[in-house]
Amino acid sequence: MASVRSARTTYSSAIAGATEYSDWILRLFGPSIRGAIAEVGIGHGSYADRLADQPGYTGIDLDPEAVEAARERLPHGRFLAADISKREAMQAVGFGAFDTVLCFNVLEHVADHGSAACNMLDLLRPRGRLLLFLPALQSLYGSLDRLAGHERRYDKATVRELFEGLATLRRVEYVNPLGGVGWWINSRVEHRDLDSTAVNAQIRLFTRYVMPLSRAVTPLTKGFFGQSLVVEAEKR
């Protein structure tokens, strides 16, 4: 990326406290999260809080302030500032050192996502897995995406093209259809602040009331629609 944007400007404050949402995302990947773990884009630290005490964990972020905050809060963890699109920086993290690489709501921020995908795969040992949680469907792109610094949203075809010849896709599924409907409505509204009272209220409402229902509906829509895309790419 051309410049370092503060991690804090890429998400609403309510999302950092949405523990049910973070737990749900981790449960989506279940046993695929194993062994030595590299988390790319620690951001608000919700996943680091749950994973950093595991042996072999490394947290990575482009924003040095996010890295320093994680080091202060979780002194037993390994945290590094690195740009995932830069090969030398990722080589310093440790090529071939990890069984799992997590990248949740991060790749959409990276202009050169092709290089980033290659570099993250190179962090893995053979048969290791890159686990991605991505914003889905370009038709849902709106002012909230722009405010968050999203370069794009993803669909199944985009993911297949991105990993063609690089990895074996073990899972590509849409999740959270009701969230997708809400994001589509928001895409028709011109938001001016990602951390506004209205946006944060929507997050709290979704987490408490809508998310359980959306999880129940997901098996019916995972082939074609959802707010997010779950991807598991296995290194060859």
Tens digit of each residue's pLDDT (9 = 90 or more) over 132-170: 999 999 999 999 999 999 999 999 999 999 999 999 999
Average pLDDT of the residues of the chain: 94
To the nearest whole percent, how much of the chain has pLDDT over 90? 87
203 contacts 18 by C-beta, under 8 angstroms: yes
Report the CATH number of the 7-235 domain: 3.40.50.150
| Residue 1 confidence (pLDDT) above 50 | no
Look up residue 232 and give its two tokens. 């598991």
| Residue 128 confidence (pLDDT) above 90 | yes
Mean pLDDT (whole number) for 1-14:
63
